[in-house]
């Protein structure tokens, strides 16, 4: 058995490119470590350890630090939640949910145009009916334009988009929603486009043979069969939108990000509570996603 394993190991495929790349990465790390300034800054190890201890102590809720009784943390947390925490949480969820729904609504009908497989003259290698030269030319032009729009939308960071839209529309919810929607329009377009490109062709071919057009083949065959994967990416991007909406709140709108920014440096325990509040939403969303996909499967 050992001889067989040794023989298989000798016959395994080897990539010179990967080996050279790995060596260059290691050399780059060693060069950066030895030639740049210290990564930990100018603070001594003792000072860094003292700062860490103080930080951990500040994470303990202030009533608990005074009394030593952890039961005092529950009224403190409830006050933070009912004061501004719940409103900020709902605003964060509203921004993220509205943004991802807008992205999905605009991306879904554009997938037949963006898909290389559906936009070619013979989709999935089949003749799909006679079409004019104008329509053929439109597909040739619109497909690359749509894919470029996806690339451009995801190339600009959502924080910059939000900053520009706030300058135009003022400090309100919609600039953040639109910024996240535009950015995720490009990301969902790429992810869902890959699902369409890698879909099983036999079912779509049957739809085309039965006389359905490209849109019909997508709507009746590809979309239902790949719905779980569409849903996975949709909910994954929703979770990311929740985190992004939290960060975008630092621009001044009352979301969890604003409360975290106001608490940082002065009330570390409150900041930690708001961070845990945002993380709990992500965990609940992930559990709901798992439950929903299992039911649909």
Q: Write the pLDDT tens digit of every residue in 60-85.
A: 888 888 887 888 888 888 888 888 88
Give pLDDT tens digits for 94-107: 999 999 999 999 99
pLDDT (0 to 100) of residue 182: 94
Provide the pLDDT for residue 130: 54
Q: What are the pLDDT digits (tens) for 210-255? A: 777 777 778 888 888 888 888 889 988 998 888 888 888 777 777 7
**Could you give the CA distance from residue 67 to residue 13 in angstroms, rounded to a whole number?**
64
Structure confidence at residue 121 (pLDDT): 66
Cβ contact 243:225 at 8 Å? no
Question: Environment class of residue 141 by beta-carbon count within 10 Å: exposed (0-12), middle (13-18) or buried (19+)?
Answer: exposed
Banded model confidence at residue 141, pLDDT cuts 50, 70, 90 = confident
* pLDDT at site 194: 87
Cβ atoms 256, 277 nearer than 8 A: yes
User: Can you give the pTM of this predicted structure?
Assistant: 0.76
CATH no. of 84-296: 1.10.3720.10
Residue whose C-alpha is closest to residue 274's, from 89, 55, 62: 89
Calpha distance 133→222 (Å, rounded): 26
Please report, for the chain, the start and end positions of each structural domain, with discontinuous segments joined by +: 84-296
State the DSSP code for 254.
S
% residues pLDDT > 90 (the chain): 11
| Percentage of residues in the chain having pLDDT higher than 70 | 88
Question: Could you tell me the two tokens for 48?
Answer: 């860094």
For residue 280, give Cα distances in angstroms to 109, 154, 243.
33, 27, 11
**pLDDT reported for residue 124:** 66
d(CA 165, CA 180): 11
Mean pLDDT of 44-73: 80
Q: Are 296 and 227 in contact (CB under 8 A)?
A: yes
User: If you average pLDDT over each of 37-46, 55-64, 174-183, which comes out highest?
Assistant: 174-183
By the 10 Å C-beta count (0-12 exposed, 13-18 middle, 19+ buried), 38 is classed as: exposed
Over residues 158-163, the mean pLDDT reads 88
Cβ partners under 8 Å of residue 207, min gap 6 = 216, 217, 220, 221
Average pLDDT, the chain: 81
Q: Which residues contact 26 (CB under 8 A, 6 or more apart)?
A: none
Cα(200)–Cα(123) distance, integer angstroms: 13
Environment class of 91 (CB within 10 Å of its CB; exposed 0-12, middle 13-18, buried 19+) = buried
pLDDT band at 36 (very low <50, low <70, confident <90, very high): low
Cα angle for residues 159, 105, 255 (degrees, 5° grid): 35
Rounded Cα gap, residues 64 and 41, in angstroms: 33
């Amino acid at each position: 058995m050992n001889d067989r394993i040794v023989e298989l190991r000798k016959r395994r495929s080897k990539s010179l490119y990967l080996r050279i790349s790995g060596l260059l990465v290691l050399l780059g790390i060693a060069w950066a470590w030895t030639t740049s300034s210290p990564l930990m800054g100018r603070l001594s190890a003792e000072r860094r350890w003292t700062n860490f201890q103080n930080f951990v102590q500040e994470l303990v809720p202030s009533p608990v630090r005074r009394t030593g009784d952890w039961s005092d943390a529950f009224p403190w947390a409830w006050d933070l939640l009912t004061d501004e925490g719940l409103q900020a949480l709902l605003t964060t969820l509203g921004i993220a949910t509205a943004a991802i729904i807008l992205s999905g609504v605009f991306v879904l009908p554009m997938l037949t145009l963006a898909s290389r497989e559906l936009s070619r003259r013979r989709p999935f290698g089949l003749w799909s009916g006679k079409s004019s030269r104008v329509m053929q030319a439109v597909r040739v032009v619109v497909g690359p334009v749509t894919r470029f729009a996806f690339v451009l939308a995801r190339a600009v960071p959502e924080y910059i988009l939000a900053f520009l839209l706030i300058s135009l529309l003022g400090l309100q919810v919609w600039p953040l929603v639109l910024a996240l929607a535009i950015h995720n329009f490009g990301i969902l377009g790429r992810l869902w486009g890959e699902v369409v490109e890698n879909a099983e062709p036999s079912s779509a071919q049957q739809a085309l043979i039965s006389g359905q057009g490209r849109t019909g083949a997508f709507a009746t065959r590809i979309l239902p069969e790949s719905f779980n994967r569409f849903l996975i990416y949709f909910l994954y991007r929703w979770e990311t939108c929740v985190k992004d909406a939290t960060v975008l709140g630092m621009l001044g709108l009352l979301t969890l990000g604003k409360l975290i920014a106001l608490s940082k440096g002065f009330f570390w325990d409150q900041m930690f509570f708001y961070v845990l509040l945002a993380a709990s939403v992500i965990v609940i969303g992930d559990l709901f996603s798992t439950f929903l996909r299992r039911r649909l499967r």
